[in-house]
Amino acid sequence: MISVLIILLLTAGICNSNPDAKRLYDDLLSNYNRLIRPVSNNTDTVVVKLGLRLSQLIDLNLKDQILTTNVWLEHEWQDHKFQWEPLEYGGVTELYVPSEHIWLPDIVLYNNADGEYGVTTMTKAILHYTGKVLWTPPAIFKSSCEIDVRYFPFDQQTCFMKFGSWTYDGFQIDLKHINQNVGDKVEVGIDLREYYPSVEWDILGVPAERHTKYYPCCHEPYPDIFFNITLRRKTLFYTVNLIVPCVSISYLSVLAFYLPADSGEKIALCINILLSQTMFFLLISEIIPSTSLALPLLGKYLLFTMILVGLSVVITIIILNVHYRKPSTHKMA
């Protein structure tokens, strides 16, 4: 009973500490319907400005072709029902409200790879006295990304994240980039000021572009925004742990021809080299996606050297056969 009384007293104290904000909140949301688009006429269009802040590049899974990112999704739009005169409310120019209490655009990630289309963390929205609404929720998105492995590990990958409204067409919601001025393309489309550098990838470019798509079912346009990320792999790890051992093992096959035939290790050396190259080939196949469209350059090199080592085994067998021929076992010419 005492704890309940303390909570009530604290709540009353908080409410009395900022009565202007409380009165403004009640006036704005008392008759507000969060299910209705914020327009004066039904034919009006809500312009939603969309931005993306990249916080962390968590992972680019080559095998599953999935890009995992930690982002902040910036939304900005006008809601005429949230306009007020600051002088009438004690000079309050901004109000922070739970986003569950206001209308939100249903912006989703079209090319998601795990079934999470939209934002799951509902943060507070900022209402400005001019009617401008700002909402920047954080999210971890998994998007599908087509991987090109031809030059692995010296490769560059370009992934994109496609955002658009799931329900509303272009006549109801017009989607634009938050920094879009002239044209549909923005050279720096992703904000990297809060980016935590990746240990595996360098970011080369982050352009964004607005598209308008027409689906076979409908005659209305459906705008969307592509946020592109061009990545270049940091090659030091693969150079030290993959390329240098592969090349070194390949050159060992030449030493088999310098071993004397009486040592008995010529064929054993070639077979051990062949097994080592097979192990590296299997390691590469575990890293890259299972595709028949392209074979990585390193895989081609290993395949070529495996063929050469296999031929060296055959040649070594022929050399040993000739070396150990005797009149008692073979007819001499």
Q: Average pLDDT in the 143-161 region?
A: 90
Backbone angles phi, psi at 140, to 5 degrees: -115, 115
The two structure tokens encoding residue 66: 């999935």
At residue 8, the pLDDT reads 44
Give the separation between CA 138 and CA 232, rounded to whole angstroms: 25
At residue 101, the pLDDT reads 92
| Residue ranges of the chain that CATH labels 2.70.170.10 | 19-233
Q: What is the pTM of this model?
A: 0.79
Give the separation between CA 137 and CA 125, rounded to whole angstroms: 9
Q: Kindly state the helix (H) or strand (E) to which residue 184 belongs, with its residue range.
A: none
Nearest to 66 by CA among 130, 118, 116, 7: 116
Give the separation between CA 70 and CA 14, rounded to whole angstroms: 35
Residue 328's pLDDT band (boundaries 50, 70, 90)? low
At residue 291, the pLDDT reads 63
- For domain 19-233, the CATH class is mainly beta
Confirm if 174 and 46 have CB atoms less than 8 A apart: yes
3-state secondary structure of 245: helix
Q: Average pLDDT in the 198-221 region?
A: 90
At residue 270, the pLDDT reads 78
More confident residue, 126 or 293: 126
Exposure string (b/e) for 262-276, b if CB count within 10 Å is 16 or more? eeeebeebbebbbeb
The two structure tokens encoding residue 330: 């073979």
Q: Residues 317, 318, 324, CA angle at the centre, nearest 5°?
A: 90
At residue 54, the pLDDT reads 95
Nearest to 195 by CA among 70, 59, 55, 60: 55
Range with top average pLDDT, 54-63, 251-260, 264-273, 294-303: 54-63
pLDDT (tens digit per residue) in 62-112: 888 899 999 999 999 999 999 999 998 888 999 999 999 999 999 999 999
More confident residue, 30 or 1: 30
DSSP secondary structure code for residue 240 in this structure? I
Residue 10's pLDDT band (boundaries 50, 70, 90)? very low
At residue 183, the pLDDT reads 81
At residue 14, the pLDDT reads 40
pLDDT (tens digit per residue) in 118-141: 787 888 999 999 999 999 999 999
Whole-number Cα distances in Å, 38 to 32, 112, 151, 217 = 10, 28, 50, 26
Rounded to an integer, what is the distance from CA 82 to the centroid of its chain?
A: 35
**Does 321 score more than 80 pLDDT?**
no
Confirm if 89 and 20 have CB atoms less than 8 A apart: yes
Within a 10 A sphere around the Cβ of 57, how many other Cβ atoms?
A: 22
Residue 3's pLDDT band (boundaries 50, 70, 90)? low
More confident residue, 16 or 29: 29
Residue 205's pLDDT band (boundaries 50, 70, 90)? very high
Q: Average pLDDT in the 42-69 region?
A: 91
Backbone angles phi, psi at 79, to 5 degrees: -130, 105
Whole-number Cα distances in Å, 28 to 45, 55, 300 = 22, 33, 66
Residue 331's pLDDT band (boundaries 50, 70, 90)? low
Exposure string (b/e) for 178-193, b if CB count within 10 Å is 16 or more? bebeeeeebeebbbee
**Does 296 score more than 90 pLDDT?**
no
Q: Which CATH number fits domain 236-324: 3.40.50.880, 1.20.58.390, 1.10.10.10, 1.20.1260.10?
A: 1.20.58.390
Confirm if 225 and 209 have CB atoms less than 8 A apart: yes
Percent of the chain whose pLDDT exceeds 70: 89
At residue 261, the pLDDT reads 65
Residue 289's pLDDT band (boundaries 50, 70, 90)? low
| Residue ranges of the chain that CATH labels 1.20.58.390 | 236-324
At residue 15, the pLDDT reads 44
pLDDT (tens digit per residue) in 255-264: 777 777 666 6
Residue 330's pLDDT band (boundaries 50, 70, 90)? low
**Does 195 score more than 90 pLDDT?**
yes
Ramachandran quadrant class, 37 (left: phi over 0; alpha: psi -120 to 50; beta: rest): beta
3-state secondary structure of 90: coil
- Burial of 253: CB neighbours in 10 Å, binned 0-12, 13-18, 19+: buried
Backbone angles phi, psi at 6, to 5 degrees: -65, -40
